[in-house]
Amino acid sequence: MAVLWLVLLVGLPTVFLGLFVWAVIQHFLTAEVPSAFEHPAKFRFMHCVVLYGMTLGTILEKLRICRMPKFVQFLHDVLPIKKDPNLLVTDMHFGVVPVRLFQPKAASSNLRRDSYHGMCSFLARETDSVLLSVGYRKLPDHSFPSIPKDCLHATIHFLKALETFGVDSSRVVICGESVGGWAVAIVTQALISMSSLPQIRAQVLISPITQAINFNLPSHQQYRNIPFLTRDLMSTCICKYLVIDPSWREAMLKGVCIPPDVWKKYRKWLSSDNIPQRFKSQDLQPELVGPFSEAAYLETKHIWNTEVSPLLADDKTIAQLPEAFMVSFEYDVLRDDALLYKKRLEDQGVPVSWYHVEDGFHGCMILFDKKPFSFSCSLKALNAVVSYIKGI
């Protein structure tokens, strides 16, 4: 028994060290870190840690102990939460959907705004807002349409009870980042037909997913290997969420699942022609690489659903949307999704304010208070959102 414990004490640290070395090697083989980044060494270290956690999770999944996403979520959940003494935070349920309500403790003579966002405490405090965060169902246990369904359910429930929470019904803001931004676009479009509910004052979309069709936009090509959201990771998650067999992922990336006649109809919204020239490099590849595959189209055709690609909503729907604030990051594979949706809204007369973070990368905002791993771009983007909401 003593020998077994000795083997474990010596062997396990060696295995963990070996995995971290592998993660470092994997980072330098696959990841691209632009020289313009503020702290490239810190960025590289963080990505190595993420790769290390994902590798451990993958091993546990192969051993059938737990799924890799569950393990990564566990690592995230064990991190300490900073409590803000100026906020009252309440966990509750709207039906079966878990939500977390953030309310400033200080009394206010005016009814407060509401907004949704990952950095809930900061936004609620800095904007003097009541803020509701939706705990929508996620991968790997839940797939489409769990996210928009849960977010819409929670939004409707909250809009019906604004007076209960002291929220001014004329100043409600919906806000989301990445997948949350995608949910904002879908929910805001769905609410248009619900005239009995208070209208949304504004929508804030931060690095949103707005389509799952064209994976060869300039940002998809230029920043395909930039952590923490590579094009491969993005497309893999989309396939898992939409329950598309991973064998069709390559067809999606090449665009061979797009029928020529359908592309002709929608390229006015989906094409890189809508991206300003200053965001394009000289070595861009064609958007549709190979010959059309009907089999690939039949397996992936739900990507044309507006609950998957809100960019494809009809003009009448888009024209009725509330004003928008768009935040995009230069070194982000989803940069052009934001730019396409921005143009789509503007073309239909929807007022759009836009803040582009030249040195930003996907997911940087959640690091704004994670010192020493924060970046100046994190707080710049967050302050821009605060400034916009306070100005409404």
**Residue 174, pLDDT above cutoff 70:** yes
Give residue 118's pLDDT. 44
Q: Are 324 and 234 in contact (CB under 8 A)?
A: no
**Helix (H) / strand (E) containing 93:** strand 87-94
Give residue 5's pLDDT. 54
**Residue 83, pLDDT above cutoff 80:** no
Q: How confident is the model at residue 1 (pLDDT cuts 50, 70, 90)?
A: low
In the block, tokens 């983007």 appear at 381
Say if domain 83-392 classifies as CATH 3.40.50.1820. Answer: yes
pLDDT tens readout for residues 286-304: 888 789 999 999 999 999 9
pLDDT (average), residues 200-204? 98
**What 3-state class would DSSP assign to 370?**
coil
283 is catalytic: no
CA distance 104 to 84: 10
What are the CB-based long-range contacts (under 8 Å, 24+) for 35-39?
36/331, 36/359, 37/331, 37/359, 37/361, 38/359, 38/375, 38/376, 38/377, 39/375
CA angle 371, 219, 367 (to 5 degrees): 10
Secondary structure string (H, E, C) spanning 103-168: EECCCCCCCEEEECCCCHHHHHHHHCCEEEEECCCCCCCCCCCHHHHHHHHHHHHHHCCCHHHCEE
Alpha helices in the chain (DSSP H): 2-30, 40-62, 68-77, 120-127, 146-159, 179-191, 218-222, 231-241, 249-254, 260-270, 294-300, 315-319, 335-347, 376-390
pTM of the shown model: 0.91
Among 185, 203, 229, 213, smallest CA distance to 329 is for 229
Mean pLDDT for all residues in the chain: 90
Give residue 374's pLDDT. 87
Q: How confident is the model at residue 117 (pLDDT cuts 50, 70, 90)?
A: very low
pLDDT tens readout for residues 7-25: 555 667 887 888 899 999 9
CA distance 181 to 175: 7
pLDDT (average), residues 71-80? 73
Catalytically annotated residue among 332, 336, 337, 378: 332
Q: How confident is the model at residue 173 (pLDDT cuts 50, 70, 90)?
A: very high
State both tokens at 331. Answer: 């070194």
Catalytically annotated residue among 27, 129, 362, 378: 362
Give residue 35's pLDDT. 84
Per the model's pLDDT, the better-predicted residue between 341 and 1 turns out to be 341
Give residue 148's pLDDT. 95
Name the residue ranges covered by the structural domains of the chain: 2-77, 83-392
Per the model's pLDDT, the better-predicted residue between 80 and 141 turns out to be 141
Give residue 72's pLDDT. 78
**Residue 68, pLDDT above cutoff 90:** no
369 is catalytic: no
pLDDT (average), residues 264-286? 93
Catalytically annotated residue among 178, 219, 309, 328: 178
**What 3-state class would DSSP assign to 101?**
strand
**Residue 265, pLDDT above cutoff 80:** yes
Give residue 206's pLDDT. 97
Distance of CA 276 to the CA centre of its chain: 23
Give residue 2's pLDDT. 59
pLDDT tens readout for residues 33-66: 988 888 899 999 999 999 999 998 898 889 888 8
Q: How confident is the model at residue 114 (pLDDT cuts 50, 70, 90)?
A: low
CA angle 259, 264, 267 (to 5 degrees): 105
27 is catalytic: no
CA distance 327 to 339: 9
Per the model's pLDDT, the better-predicted residue between 70 and 29 turns out to be 29
List, in sequence order, every residue forming a beta bridge with 103; answer none if it has no partner. 88
**Residue 369, pLDDT above cutoff 70:** yes
